[in-house]
Structure formats: structure tokens, C-alpha cells
């Protein structure tokens, strides 16, 4: 048979070759796909068909220094709508029931258009029982609408702490870019206060519910019955330095007042109480905040959103006298034998600077005890403006304390170069300086700075950076991790401190200005102050620490537009000290007072 | 001398058993991919009924007198052509091709029937004693017999099926004894056409090569020039045809040239089929367990992508089983083509081989991503009643030949 003829062996062989070639190619391709590259294809296949819906973990809780819960979480209802099944004609009725402005739902839908239409959108957190009741009645018509249980902040533990805790807020687009991968649209993050500073500890690790979706992104069901769902991990609980009792009484005493109070443990810098009044209700921000609520808060003339405890900068008044005293003593300009005569004021040039009383001859201790202005007008001149300012800076005035919330002001601790800048090189005289000696005029401090100053005096010039965080509890092994802070030693001699402290002791226990602050069983030391206010009533200031021998708490309290510090600020400090140091006595007294009020 | 025929001498189990295995695998794949489908969930029952009908027809064909195929081949061919013209006039358009007669309960594609008609007629024509395939006039007539249905099918338009016809005709001419030059004349325009898909430069290189080969053949100047002109013409045919093609067909060509260019468009099916097969692994995800299949990532998977259902749910083992069954059938067909009673039977066998192989190679190649996306079903497995029926009639004819072959002992 010719090779070219009909049905020849050669032609047959060519067909066999063709089959062989094709089967080999198919075999190798199959082998490559199903055995070598199987993993890649499997990943692709799963990405194809599994959609993750994040589960937001509960935020870490806040405990006080004795592990009392002060900020918790509670379950609340969140409204969800699945756009694919939802009829937009119900927008207006739902918006009306939610008491939100028209177009609210559409706005949320438009925000994440690229998201699968078959996955739910969170419409509103913290649904009212009224809404739930209405929804349950009309459920059958409202296709695609449902509510889920979510955790939200619970502030029902007896203290407000609005300015230190801060609130959480829906993440901004900028933050989203900054923390790509950690957060997504609609997540809540700390907006201010501790919530903001420790966001990274608090937010926890997101989990995910896995759903099967088909090629049209339609949800078909749970992936492996939810067995493969990723459980969220709760955020780290924070143990704060706050004492719930001290904080609570301070807040109560500040009701109806404006001002700030900060209490610090002198040795450690731990903040025991931190109050800015008026407070605002944090639970307003735990769920939906309406435009009206916002406006009300922003436009309130008392500025409840303003953190007075670490942001308000007022002249410290007589509480500042110890700066001059320390400076003069440390520089060897005076000692306890040095006296100045007080005839009710001090004539400097053609100006007369008044004192509250005629104190006669006083040494530094008595001058503090009786708050003699005449003495300190002259001390600042003797020490020198810039030297005096240096000592003020040592105590932390004019700069931030570095507290672990971002809302903090630095205040003003003036010196000659500052005045040169403000008034021009020859635009001011020593007359401008005199009143600084008693903490009036162009000097300002925050309550937090005053508390730190008080703590430094109490603890002989040593403390740590003021802070709220004692430590955190890890979410994996419940281990408590204490945090460490910078040691501060301003290098003032013990001898000087002793003298100043004695003056402050006598303010309360001698013939001083605040003898009514005395507490049975505890030696309290302190200093009153009144900041002159050209715009209205003076601001009342008091700083104090206790026990005198071994200080455990240093408090600074400013009550705006109240009058004398001794009258309006000192009693609050007294209560806070007692609440902290004499818990049993304090609680008993409170109970008695409550019963009396009932009768 | 009387020979005692055993059953296996009358009935070829080498073809019948793989055939049954493939039909069963196909039914499993159809069941898995459609039972939960909102619109296609009756497909398994329909295909199962068609399989039963097809088996009955298969045995009818098997028991027919062997002479009928040759004697009615011209009638069959003419009938096929009439049906192909009719479908263009009154047919139903499915997926952009006017290729169906609809009878309400079932559809019927004349192009399927035309496969048998063309194979039988071309075989009977080629098996005439006085046919010299290498005579240009004869070759032209042969090509004309094949080209008529191809033209009509291209008008539907159904690229895939017309390509199957080309393969069938090429295989049969080759088997008949087409010379190297004849083969070159038939094949070269196809090569030029294919190369033109990859750009003008490659096409011109190919044309230059063809010119070189043409010179080496040292044929007379008239023949050489004619062949070269045809080749040059086809080189530019692609651009013209591409413009005539429907957008969905253009996209299929684009998708083959760069499947990743539009992963959610026309390359999507092929890509998802690959993902389905690849993710199956060695043993597969189990019957009804493939997420690509169950979540309906591949549209119309029960038709052209049935292999990906098997690949995903039965893994490498299942995929290889399908390949092996086809391999057995193909090798057996080639063996039968050599043992056939006459050249008619032999040519029909090769025609059937061409039919099955073209479908098989284009379909598996598409599923595995080694050939372009051509919409062709996988014989015996893909959903489709008339296709299954025609395939079983074809096998029935071959078994009929087998039954009636002379055995020498």
C-alpha cells in the first residue's frame, strides 16, 4: 500500500499522533491545574463565593483604680436595611419613626454604593423601644428591614467623666485613609479623651460572619453553618487611675457650677479625679446624635463641650504665691527669718498694689498662711522676673503636662522676652510684674497644671507625668499590664519645700484662709486663690493636698465666677480628699445626709 | 464457511461501555449543576428522557440493513441542506444564532442532522472507484459538498459547528488520500486566517512561509498563483469577517487572544471554568459539593462547560476518567476504520471520528484554557437532546457496520 493512498498506515499514524498530542496536552494541563496550582484556584474559588460581613467587637471597658467598672457596654438595637430587598417608598415613614431628617436613609445608601446590595447597611444605632414596637407591628411590610443587637457604650455607673472619657464617633474619611485595613466605613472610633488616646487598645479585633454568595452576589446562606465564622476579640479593658468615689462627689458638687477639678496622687502622677463642669451627656453620642442635639451643645453659652479641667487658662491667683516663695528661698534671697511689713498694700512707683488685710510683719510661712499680697509683690521683684518665671516653668507652668488625652492647653508663664514680644521692648515696666507675684495679670494656668504643681509641692518636687491609664488588661490572657510614666524631679531642696509646705499647712490648720477645710483625722494643707476676672465675678481657686505627712492626694479646683476660693473651691476639695482618703467615714456621712434630706 | 459469532463480535463493547460511562457522567453533571437552579431545574429529567429515546434510536439504527446508509446518503444530504435553508428562514434564535427549530416541548438543530448527512454523502461520493482526490476538479467538488452546509451554518451564524464540519471534511479527505500538496492547499488558508488573528506582522511572516513552500512544491505557475491569491485573500478576510461578526462573537475572539482583558465579560466563563476545575484538586469537592458549580458562577454550565462540573466535583480522577473514556473510543474508531468492510464504511468511521474529536478537542480545550472559547458541546455529556440523539445515531451506524463486517477466521 502506498503511503499516500487511501487509509494508509501513515495516515492512520498521523491520526494516532494527533490523539496522542491532544491527550498529553490535556493531561498535563489538568495535572498543572488540579494538582500543582490547586491551592491558587481554591483560593480564587473561595474568594468568589464567600463574603465577609464584619462583626464589630465590644470596646474595652474602663475600670477605676480599684477595679470598679466605670464605663461599660450594653446591648442596643441597630437598624439594618438590605437594599436589594428594600422598597425605598418606606424611607419617609421609617425616617419619621426614627426622628431623623428626610433623606437620611438615602444618604447612607449612597455612601457605600460599591458594596453588595445584598449585604445589610447599618442605618441607626440605639433604637428606641417605641421604634422597635412600631417595627414589630409593621414587620411584614418592611421587607429587607431588620434590627440587630450591637454593643454600645454604657455610662450608667454613677459618674459622668465626659471630658476625660470622651466619646466615639463614626470614623472620618481621613482616619479611614490613615488606618487602612483596620477600620471600614461606619466604624466608630474614639473622638476625644481617653477613648481617642487608647483607641488602639480599645477597638479590639474584628470578627466576620461568612456568607455564601452566588455569582450575582446574592446571599445563599451561612458558610459552613457559621462554624468558620471568625469570632471578634474584645478590646483591651483599661484600668484607669480614677477613684470612682472621689470623681463622683466632685461631679456632684460641681453641678450648677462652671469650672474644673483635678486630683493627682503626688508620688505617681495618677489622676484620681478629673472634672470639667458643666458636663455633657456622653450617652448622647453612644448612638445617633441629631443635628438639634449638636446645635444645642455647641451653642450653649456655658460651653459644656469645653474641657475646663485641662484647657481653661485662668490666672491662678494666690495659689501661685508659692512660686515666688520657692524661688526666693532656693536662690538664698530670703530665709524664714526674713520678714516684710504689710501695711495693707505695696506702693510701687506711682501705683499702689492692695493687700487683703494689714498683716504687719510676716515671714514667708506667715505670708503663705495669711495670703499676704504685700509680701509677694516684693518677692517677685527681689527674685527678678525671669528667675521667678524659671521657677514657674520648673513646676510645669506654661507648658503641657503631657497628660494622656489630647485636649490640653499650655497656659502662660510670662518672662521678660514674652513681655517684649507682647508689649514691645520698652513697652512694659516692672509695674507690670508686681501683680504676677500674686498670680494675677498676664499669667494663666489650667486646673491640671495647678494640680501637678500642688502634687510637686506635696511630694518635695518629685512626681510622675500626670496620667489616666494605670494599665490595661490583655484580651487574650487577662493579664494586667501596668503602664510606666516619666519620673519628674524638679530639683528643689527639701528644706525649701518644707517651708512652703508648712505655710500651706497653716492655711488650713493655723490662722489661715481655709481653716474650714480641716478634716478629722487627716492633716490637710492647701492654698486659696481668687483670680480677678475683669468680665465678671472672680474665679474661686483652691489647691490642697493630704495627708500632710505623707501626701496621697493633691487637688486643684477652679470654680468660675464664684467669688472667693476659700468659700467656693475649698469645700469641694475637702470633700474630694475625704471621699478618697476616708471612704468609710465619707460614705457614712453621705448616707446620714441623705436620710436627713428625706425626713 | 460459517462463523460462530459471539456477542462481542456483533456488538462493540469497546465503544459501548465508554459511551455509557460518559452519558452517566454527563447526567450526573447536569443533575448537579441544574437541580437547584431556578430556571434550569428540569434539565436533568429532560436529558434523561432524551438519553432513553436516543438509546432506543441507537438500537433501531444498529439493526437497520447496512446498505441503507449508502443508498440514502444523497437523500439525507439534500434533506439536510433543505433543513439548513429552512432554519435560516423560520428558525428560532438562541444565543445569537438562528439555528433551532422549536416544537414547543423540544428543540431541534438541523446542523446536528446535517453532520450525519454530510458525512454519509461525502463518504459515499469519495468511495466511488473513479474518484481521484488529488485531481484539482475532484478536490474542488469534494470541498463544495462540504462547503455548502458550512456556508449555511456560518450564516446562522454558528462558528463552532462550521469549524466541526471543516475538521470532518479535512479528516475524510486526508483519509481518502489527499496528497501533501492537496493538504497544503486545503490547510494553508486556515493557517493564514488563524495567524492573522495575532496581527499583521505574524500574518505576513506566515504568507512568506507559504510562498516559500509553494515554490518548493514546484507546481505549474497557474496553480501556484491561484493558491497564493487565495491565501492572500484569506489573510485579509479576518478583518472583514471580524467586522461582520456579531459583537458576542467578536468578544469570544478577543477573549481568546487575551482572556484576562475582560475577566467579567466574555473571558469570564472560561476563567470561572478554569477556577472550577483547578479548585477540584485530586478527588474533587464531591458530588453536589462544588461551590463554583452550586453557586452558579458559570452560566449555562450544563451545556458547554459540563466538563468543569466534573472537574470541580470529581477532581483529577473524574476529569481523567472522562479523558480516558474518550481516548478508548477514539482509538477504537481508528482501529475500526482500518478493519471496515469497504471504503464507504471506513470513511464514515473517520468522519465520525472527526465529528467527535473536533467537539471533544474544542470543548475540553476551552474548559482547560488551551484553545479558544468556541461554543461547542462535549459529545455525550453536555445537555442537549438533539446533539445526544445525533451522536448516538452516529455511533449506531458505526455499530451497524461492526455488526455486519465480515469476519475471517
pLDDT score recorded for residue A2: 44
pLDDT score recorded for residue A115: 63
Burial environment of residue A204 by CB neighbours within 10 A (0 to 12, 13 to 18, 19 or more): middle
Residues of B in contact with A38 (CB under 8 A): 278-282
Nearest one of A509, A266, A490, A491 to A368, comparing CA atoms: A509
| Phi-psi sector, B52: left (phi>0), alpha (psi -120 to 50), beta | alpha
Residues of A in contact with B299 (CB under 8 A): 215
> Closest Cα of chain A to B82: distance in Å?
31
**Alpha carbon distance A575, A571 (integer Å):** 6
CB A499 within 8 A of CB A330: no
Check B323 against A33: CB less than 8 A apart. no
Query: How far from chain centre, in Å, is Cα A210?
Result: 36
Check A19 against B276: CB less than 8 A apart. no
B182 part of a folded domain: no
**Phi then psi for A50, rounded to 5 degrees?**
-115, 125
Select which of A318, A389, A435, A444 is catalytic: A318
Domain count, chain B: 1
| Phi-psi sector, A543: left (phi>0), alpha (psi -120 to 50), beta | beta
A19: nearest CB among B176, B331, B346: B331
Q: Give the mean model confidence (pLDDT) for residues A340-357.
A: 90
User: Has residue A178 got a pLDDT over 90?
Assistant: no
Band the pLDDT of A339: cuts 50, 70, 90.
very high
In tens, the pLDDT along A447-461 reads 999 999 999 999 999
User: Has residue A571 got a pLDDT over 90?
Assistant: yes
Q: Give the mean model confidence (pLDDT) for residues A195-206.
A: 91
Band the pLDDT of A1: cuts 50, 70, 90.
very low
Q: Give the mean model confidence (pLDDT) for residues A161-174.
A: 87
Nearest-10 crossing angle of helices A494-509, A447-458:
110
B201 part of a folded domain: no
pLDDT score recorded for residue A114: 60
CB B397 within 8 A of CB B67: no
Nearest one of A453, A461, A365, A359 to A401, comparing CA atoms: A453
H helix or E strand, kind and range, residue B227: helix B221-244
In tens, the pLDDT along A68-95 reads 999 999 888 889 888 878 888 899 999 9
| Closest-CA residue of chain A to B316 | A34
CB B70 within 8 A of CB B400: no
Is the CB of residue B317 less than 8 Å away from at least one CB of chain A?
no
Q: Which B residues in the span 253-282 are in contact with A, Cβ-Cβ below 8 Å?
A: 272, 274-282
Cell of B157: 451564524
**Alpha carbon distance A28, B376 (integer Å):** 22
Residues of B in contact with A10 (CB under 8 A): none
By a Cβ cutoff of 8 Å, what residues of chain A touch chain B?
Answer: 4-8, 11-12, 14-16, 18-19, 22-23, 25-27, 29-31, 33-35, 37-38, 40-42, 44-46, 48-49, 212-215, 220
**Alpha carbon distance A98, B376 (integer Å):** 57
Residues of B in contact with A5 (CB under 8 A): 177
In tens, the pLDDT along A248-295 reads 999 999 999 999 999 999 999 999 999 998 999 888 887 667 777 888
B278: nearest CB among A18, A38, A220: A38
Nearest one of A161, A184, A159, A164 to A173, comparing CA atoms: A184
Residues of A in contact with B280 (CB under 8 A): 34, 38
Cell of A561: 465666677
Residues of A in contact with B174 (CB under 8 A): 11, 14
Check B275 against A44: CB less than 8 A apart. yes
B277: nearest CB among A12, A18, A33: A33
Check B282 against A35: CB less than 8 A apart. yes
- Active site (annotated) includes residue A318: yes
| Closest-CA residue of chain B to A16 | B331
> Which residues, other chains included, contact B144 with Cβ-Cβ below 8 Å and sequence gap of 6+?
none
Cell of A142: 418592611
CB A100 within 8 A of CB A124: yes
Q: List the end-to-end C-alpha distance of chain B, in Å, as a whole number.
A: 9
Check B291 against A37: CB less than 8 A apart. no
- C-beta atoms surrounding A558 within 10 Å: 35
Check A45 against B276: CB less than 8 A apart. yes
pLDDT score recorded for residue A78: 87
**Alpha carbon distance A19, A52 (integer Å):** 46
Q: Can you give the pTM of this predicted structure? A: 0.64
Strand partners, A527: A543
Q: Where are the domains of chain A?
A: 52-240, 244-279+306-594
Residue B294, domain extent = 7-148+259-301+310-404
| Closest-CA residue of chain A to B330 | A19
Is the CB of residue B125 less than 8 Å away from at least one CB of chain A?
no
- Decide if the complex's ipTM is over 0.90: no
B153 part of a folded domain: no
Residues of B in contact with A13 (CB under 8 A): none
Query: How far from chain centre, in Å, is Cα B176?
Result: 20
Residues of B in contact with A16 (CB under 8 A): 331, 334
**Alpha carbon distance A252, A278 (integer Å):** 11
**Alpha carbon distance B108, B100 (integer Å):** 6
pLDDT score recorded for residue B264: 47
Residues of chain B with pLDDT under 70: 1-5, 95-97, 103-106, 197, 237-238, 241, 245-246, 248-267, 406-409
In tens, the pLDDT along A212-230 reads 776 666 676 777 677 778 8
**Alpha carbon distance A596, B14 (integer Å):** 107
Q: Give the mean model confidence (pLDDT) for residues A472-479.
A: 86
Is the CB of residue B328 less than 8 Å away from at least one CB of chain A?
no
Is the CB of residue B183 less than 8 Å away from at least one CB of chain A?
no
**Alpha carbon distance B131, B176 (integer Å):** 10
Check B177 against A6: CB less than 8 A apart. yes
Better-predicted residue by pLDDT, B98 or A336: A336
Check B316 against A40: CB less than 8 A apart. no
CB A251 within 8 A of CB A159: yes
B175: nearest CB among A7, A22, A45: A7
Check A19 against B330: CB less than 8 A apart. yes
CB A70 within 8 A of CB A240: yes
Please name the CATH architecture into which domain A52-240 falls: Alpha-Beta Complex (3.90)
Better-predicted residue by pLDDT, B264 or A340: A340
| Closest-CA residue of chain A to B346 | A7
Check B337 against A12: CB less than 8 A apart. yes
> Closest Cα of chain B to A301: distance in Å?
59
Nearest one of A506, A448, A494 to A312, comparing CA atoms: A448
CB B277 within 8 A of CB B308: yes
Residues of A in contact with B327 (CB under 8 A): 19, 23
B165 part of a folded domain: no
Check A19 against B368: CB less than 8 A apart. no
Cell of A93: 415613614
> What is the CATH T-level fold of the domain A244-279+306-594, as seen in this structure?
Beta-lactamase (3.40.710)
CB A123 within 8 A of CB A109: no
Across the A:B interface, residue pairs with CB atoms under 8 Å apart total 121
Is the CB of residue B303 less than 8 Å away from at least one CB of chain A?
no
Task: Mutation target for B interface from A35, A41, A219: give the one with most B CBs within 10 A.
Answer: A41
Residues of B in contact with A118 (CB under 8 A): none
Is the CB of residue B233 less than 8 Å away from at least one CB of chain A?
no
A34: nearest CB among B278, B353, B357: B278
> Which residues, other chains included, contact A327 with Cβ-Cβ below 8 Å and sequence gap of 6+?
A333, A379, A383, A387, A388, A390, A391
**Alpha carbon distance A52, A219 (integer Å):** 11
> Closest Cα of chain B to A216: distance in Å?
8
Band the pLDDT of A112: cuts 50, 70, 90.
low
DSSP E strands in B7-109: the ranges are: 92-94, 97-102, 107-108
SS3 of chain A: helix, strand, coil, percent, to 5: 40, 20, 35
> Which residues, other chains included, contact A179 with Cβ-Cβ below 8 Å and sequence gap of 6+?
A171
Check B297 against A215: CB less than 8 A apart. yes
User: Has residue A433 got a pLDDT over 70?
Assistant: yes
For A338-392, what is the HEC assignment?
CCEEECCEEEECCEEEECCCCCEEECHHHHHHHCCHHHHHHHHHHHCHHHHHHHH
**Alpha carbon distance A262, B130 (integer Å):** 117
| Closest-CA residue of chain A to B176 | A6
Is the CB of residue B321 less than 8 Å away from at least one CB of chain A?
no
Residue labelled with grid coordinates 431588620: A146
Q: Give the mean model confidence (pLDDT) for residues A145-160.
A: 88
> Which residues, other chains included, contact B84 with Cβ-Cβ below 8 Å and sequence gap of 6+?
B110, B111, B114, B149, B152, B153
Amino acid at each position: 500500500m502506498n503511503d499516500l493512498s487511501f487509509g494508509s498506515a501513515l495516515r492512520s499514524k498521523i491520526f494516532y499522533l494527533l490523539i496522542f498530542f491532544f491527550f498529553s496536552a490535556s493531561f498535563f494541563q489538568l495535572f498543572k491545574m488540579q494538582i500543582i496550582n490547586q491551592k491558587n484556584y481554591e483560593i480564587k474559588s473561595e474568594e468568589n463565593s464567600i463574603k465577609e460581613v464584619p462583626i464589630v467587637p465590644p470596646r474595652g471597658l474602663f475600670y477605676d483604680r480599684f477595679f470598679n467598672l466605670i464605663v461599660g457596654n450594653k446591648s442596643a438595637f441597630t437598624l439594618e436595611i438590605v437594599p436589594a430587598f428594600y422598597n425605598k417608598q418606606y424611607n419617609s415613614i421609617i425616617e419619621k419613626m426614627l426622628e431623623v431628617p428626610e433623606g437620611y436613609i438615602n444618604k447612607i445608601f449612597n455612601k457605600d454604593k460599591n458594596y453588595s446590595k445584598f449585604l445589610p447597611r447599618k442605618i441607626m444605632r440605639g433604637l428606641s423601644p417605641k421604634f422597635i414596637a412600631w417595627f414589630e407591628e409593621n414587620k411584614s411590610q418592611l421587607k429587607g428591614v431588620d434590627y440587630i443587637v450591637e454593643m454600645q457604650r454604657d455610662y450608667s455607673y454613677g459618674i459622668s467623666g465626659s471630658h476625660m472619657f470622651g466619646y466615639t464617633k463614626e470614623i472620618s474619611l481621613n482616619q479611614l485613609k490613615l488606618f487602612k485595613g483596620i477600620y471600614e466605613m461606619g466604624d466608630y472610633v474614639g473622638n476625644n479623651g481617653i477613648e481617642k488616646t487608647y483607641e488602639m487598645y480599645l477597638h479590639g479585633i474584628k470578627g466576620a460572619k461568612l456568607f455564601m454568595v452566588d455569582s450575582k452576589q446574592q446571599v445563599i446562606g451561612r458558610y459552613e453553618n457559621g462554624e468558620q465564622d471568625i469570632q471578634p476579640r474584645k478590646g483591651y479593658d483599661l484600668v484607669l487611675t480614677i477613684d470612682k468615689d472621689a470623681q463622683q462627689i466632685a461631679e456632684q458638687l460641681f453641678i450648677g457650677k462652671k469650672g474644673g477639678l483635678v486630683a493627682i496622687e503626688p508620688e505617681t502622677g495618677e489622676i484620681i479625679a478629673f472634672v470639667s463642669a458643666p458636663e455633657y451627656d456622653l450617652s448622647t453620642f453612644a448612638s445617633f446624635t441629631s443635628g438639634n442635639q449638636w446645635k444645642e451643645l455647641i451653642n450653649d453659652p456655658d460651653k459644656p463641650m469645653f474641657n475646663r479641667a485641662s484647657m481653661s487658662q485662668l490666672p491662678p491667683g494666690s495659689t501661685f504665691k508659692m512660686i515666688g516663695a520657692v524661688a526666693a528661698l532656693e536662690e538664698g534671697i530670703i530665709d524664714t527669718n526674713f520678714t516684710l511689713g504689710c501695711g495693707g498694700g505695696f506702693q510701687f512707683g506711682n501705683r499702689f498694689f492692695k493687700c487683703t488685710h494689714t498683716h504687719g510683719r510676716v515671714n514667708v510661712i506667715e505670708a503663705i498662711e495669711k495670703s499676704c499680697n504685700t509680701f509677694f509683690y516684693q518677692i517677685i521683684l527681689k527674685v527678678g522676673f525671669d528667675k521667678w518665671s524659671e521657677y514657674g516653668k520648673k513646676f510645669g507652668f506654661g507648658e503641657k503636662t503631657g497628660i494622656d488625652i489630647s485636649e490640653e492647653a499650655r497656659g502662660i508663664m510670662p518672662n521678660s522676652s514674652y513681655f517684649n514680644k507682647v508689649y514691645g521692648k520698652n513697652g512694659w515696666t516692672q509695674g507690670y510684674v508686681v501683680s504676677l507675684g500674686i498670680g494675677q495679670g498676664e499669667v494663666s494656668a489650667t486646673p491640671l497644671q495647678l494640680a501637678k504643681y500642688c502634687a510637686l509641692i506635696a511630694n518635695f518636687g518629685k512626681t510622675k507625668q500626670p496620667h489616666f491609664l494605670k494599665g490595661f488588661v490583655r484580651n487574650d490572657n487577662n493579664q494586667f499590664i501596668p503602664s510606666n510614666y516619666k519620673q519628674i524631679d524638679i530639683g528643689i531642696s527639701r528644706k525649701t519645700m518644707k517651708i512652703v509646705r508648712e505655710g500651706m499647712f497653716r492655711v488650713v490648720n493655723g490662722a489661715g484662709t481655709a481653716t474650714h477645710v480641716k478634716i478629722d483625722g487627716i492633716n490637710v494643707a492647701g492654698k486659696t486663690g481668687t483670680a480677678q476676672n475683669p468680665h465678671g465675678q472672680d474665679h474661686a481657686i483652691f489647691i490642697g493636698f493630704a495627708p500632710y505627712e505623707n501626701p496621697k492626694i493633691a487637688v486643684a479646683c477652679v470654680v468660675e465666677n464664684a467669688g472667693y476660693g476659700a468659700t467656693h473651691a475649698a469645700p469641694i476639695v475637702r470633700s474630694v480628699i475625704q471621699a478618697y482618703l476616708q471612704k468609710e467615714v465619707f460614705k457614712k456621712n453621705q448616707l446620714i445626709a441623705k436620710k436627713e434630706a428625706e425626713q | 464457511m460459517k462463523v460462530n459469532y459471539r456477542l462481542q463480535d456483533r456488538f462493540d463493547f469497546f465503544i459501548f461501555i465508554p459511551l455509557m460511562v460518559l452519558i452517566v457522567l454527563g447526567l450526573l453533571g447536569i443533575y448537579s449543576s441544574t437541580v437547584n437552579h431556578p430556571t434550569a431545574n428540569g434539565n436533568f429529567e429532560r436529558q434523561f428522557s432524551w438519553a432513553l429515546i436516543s438509546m432506543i434510536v441507537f438500537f433501531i439504527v444498529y439493526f437497520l440493513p447496512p446498505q441503507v446508509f449508502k443508498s440514502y446518503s444523497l437523500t439525507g444530504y439534500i434533506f439536510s441542506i433543505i433543513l439548513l435553508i429552512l432554519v435560516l428562514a423560520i428558525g428560532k434564535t438562541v444565543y445569537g444564532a438562528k439555528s433551532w427549530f422549536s416544537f414547543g416541548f423540544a428543540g431541534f438543530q438541523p446542523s446536528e442532522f446535517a453532520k450525519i448527512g454530510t458525512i454519509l454523502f461525502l463518504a459515499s461520493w469519495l468511495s466511488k472507484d473513479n474518484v481521484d482526490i488529488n485531481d484539482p476538479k475532484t478536490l474542488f467538488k469534494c470541498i463544495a459538498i462540504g462547503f455548502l452546509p458550512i456556508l449555511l451554518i456560518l450564516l446562522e451564524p454558528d462558528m463552532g459547528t462550521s469549524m466541526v464540519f471543516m475538521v470532518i471534511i479535512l479528516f475524510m479527505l486526508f483519509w481518502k488520500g489527499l496528497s501533501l500538496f492537496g493538504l497544503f492547499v486545503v490547510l494553508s488558508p486556515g493557517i493564514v486566517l488563524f495567524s492573522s488573528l495575532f496581527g499583521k506582522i505574524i500574518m505576513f511572516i506566515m504568507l512568506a512561509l507559504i510562498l516559500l513552500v509553494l515554490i518548493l512544491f514546484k507546481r505549474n505557475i497557474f496553480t501556484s498563483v491561484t493558491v497564493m491569491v487565495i491565501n492572500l485573500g484569506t489573510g485579509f478576510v479576518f478583518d472583514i469577517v471580524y467586522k461582520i461578526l456579531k459583537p458576542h462573537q467578536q468578544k469570544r475572539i478577543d477573549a481568546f487572544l487575551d482572556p484576562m482583558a475582560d475577566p467579567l465579560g466574555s473571558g469570564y466563563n472560561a476563567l470561572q471554568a478554569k477556577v472550577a476545575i483547578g479548585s477540584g484538586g485530586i478527588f474533587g469537592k464531591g458530588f453536589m459539593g462544588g461551590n463554583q458549580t452550586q453557586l452558579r458562577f458559570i452560566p449555562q454550565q450544563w451545556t458547554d462547560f459540563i466538563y468543569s462540573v466534573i472537574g470541580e466535583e470529581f477532581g483529577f480522577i473524574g476529569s481523567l476518567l472522562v479523558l480516558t473514556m474518550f481516548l478508548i473510543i477514539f482509538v477504537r474508531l481508528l482501529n475500526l476504520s482500518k478493519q471496515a468492510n469497504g471504503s464507504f464504511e471506513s470513511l464514515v468511521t473517520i468522519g465520525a471520528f472527526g465529528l467527535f474529536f473536533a467537539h471533544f478537542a474544542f470543548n475540553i480545550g476551552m474548559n482547560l484554557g488551551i484553545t479558544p472559547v468556541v461554543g461547542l458541546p462535549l459529545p455525550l455529556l453536555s445537555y442537549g437532546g438533539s446533539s445526544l440523539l445525533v451522536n448516538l445515531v452516529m455511533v449506531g451506524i458505526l455499530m451497524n457496520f461492526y455488526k455486519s463486517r465480515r469476519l475471517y477466521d
